[in-house]
A and B are shown apart, each in its own frame.
Chain A
Amino acid sequence: MKVIACYKWVLDEADLKVDAKSRALLTDRTKNKISEYDRNAIECGVQLTEQVGGEVVALTAGTANSKNSLKDALSRGPAQAVWVKDELMSQADSAVTAKILAGAVRKIEEFDLVVCGEGSSDEYAQQVGIRMGQLLNIPVITFVNKVEVKDGILRAERKLEEGIEVVEVKFPALITVLPDVNTPRIPSLKQILGAAKKPVQELSIADCGLSPADTESKVSRESVLGTVMERKQIRVQGEVTEMVQQIVDLLNKEGLC
Chain B
Amino acid sequence: MSQIWVISETQSALLELVAHAKGIAQGESIVAWAFSTEAAQAASKQGADQVIELTGAKRPEDYTSAMIERAQSEIPIAILWGSTRRSKEMAARLAAALDAGLINETFNLKREGQSFRAERYIYGGLCVAREVMETAPFMAIMVAKTAEALDEGAACHIETLTNSETKIQMIELRPNLATSNLGDANVVVCVGRGIIKSEDIELARRLASKLGGELGCTRPVAEDLHWMPEENYIGISGQMVKPTVYIGIGVSGQIQHVSGIRDSKTIIAIEKNENAPIIEAADYALVGDLYQILPALLSSLGA
Chain A contact residues, CB within 8 Å of chain B: 11, 13-14, 16, 18, 25, 93-95, 98, 119, 121-127, 130-135, 139-143, 145, 155, 158-170, 178-180, 183, 217-227, 229, 231-237, 240-241, 243-248, 250-251, 254, 256-257
Chain B residues with CB under 8 Å of A18's CB are 126-127
User: Does B201 lie at the interface of the complex (its beta carbon under 8 Å from any beta carbon of A)?
Assistant: no
Query: Could you give 7 example pairs across A and B, Cβ below 8 Å?
Result: A123-B122, A127-B91, A143-B89, A160-B84, A166-B174, A168-B169, A227-B121
Shortest B222–chain A CB gap in Å is 9
Residue from B97, B125, B133, B168 having most chain A Cβ neighbours under 10 A: B168
Q: Is the CB of B262 within 8 A of A167?
A: no
**Interface membership of chain B positions 151-185, coded 1 if the CB is closer than 8 angstroms to chain A and 0 otherwise:** 00000000000000001111111111000000000
How distant is the Cα of A220 from the Cα of B187 in the complex, in angstroms? Answer: 39
Q: Is the CB of B281 within 8 A of A131?
A: no
Chain B contact residues, CB within 8 Å of chain A: 59, 84-86, 88-89, 91-93, 95-97, 99-105, 117, 121-133, 135, 167-176, 187, 210-212, 219-220, 223-224, 226, 230, 236-237, 244-245, 254-256, 258-259, 262, 266-268, 274, 277, 279-288, 292-293, 296-297, 300-301
Name B133's contact: one of A125, A219, A225 (CB within 8 Å): A219
Chain A residues with CB under 8 Å of B89's CB are 130, 140, 142-143
Q: Is the CB of A235 within 8 A of B93?
A: no
Quick one: given A13-B126, A161-B176, A235-B287, are A218 and B101 in contact (CB under 8 Å)? yes
How distant is the Cα of A256 from the Cα of B211 in the complex, in angstroms? Answer: 6
How distant is the Cα of A180 from the Cα of B236 in the complex, in angstroms? Answer: 17
How distant is the Cα of A143 from the Cα of B84 in the complex, in angstroms? Answer: 11
Chain A residues with CB under 8 Å of B169's CB are 167-169
How distant is the Cα of A162 from the Cα of B68 in the complex, in angstroms? Answer: 25
Name B176's contact: one of A133, A139, A163, A250 (CB within 8 Å): A163
Name A224's contact: one of B122, B170, B255, B287 (CB within 8 Å): B122
Name B300's contact: one of A98, A162, A179, A244 (CB within 8 Å): A244
Name A165's contact: one of B170, B226, B258 (CB within 8 Å): B170
Q: Is the CB of A95 within 8 A of B99?
A: yes
How distant is the Cα of A236 from the Cα of B131 in the complex, in angstroms? Answer: 41
Name A244's contact: one of B175, B212, B297 (CB within 8 Å): B297
How distant is the Cα of A235 from the Cα of B288 in the complex, in angstroms? Answer: 11
Chain B residues with CB under 8 Å of A142's CB are 85, 88-89
**Closest A residue to B68 using CB positions:** A134
Q: Is the CB of A143 within 8 A of B283?
A: no
Chain A residues with CB under 8 Å of B296's CB are 240-241, 244
Shortest B170–chain A CB gap in Å is 6
Q: Is the CB of B285 within 8 A of A233?
A: yes
Q: Is the CB of B237 within 8 A of A124?
A: yes
Q: Is the CB of B168 within 8 A of A167?
A: yes
Q: Is the CB of B127 within 8 A of A224?
A: yes
Shortest A142–chain B CB gap in Å is 4
Shortest B99–chain A CB gap in Å is 7
Q: Is the CB of A236 within 8 A of B286?
A: yes
Chain A residues with CB under 8 Å of B95's CB are 94-95, 127, 131
Q: Is the CB of B167 within 8 A of A162?
A: no
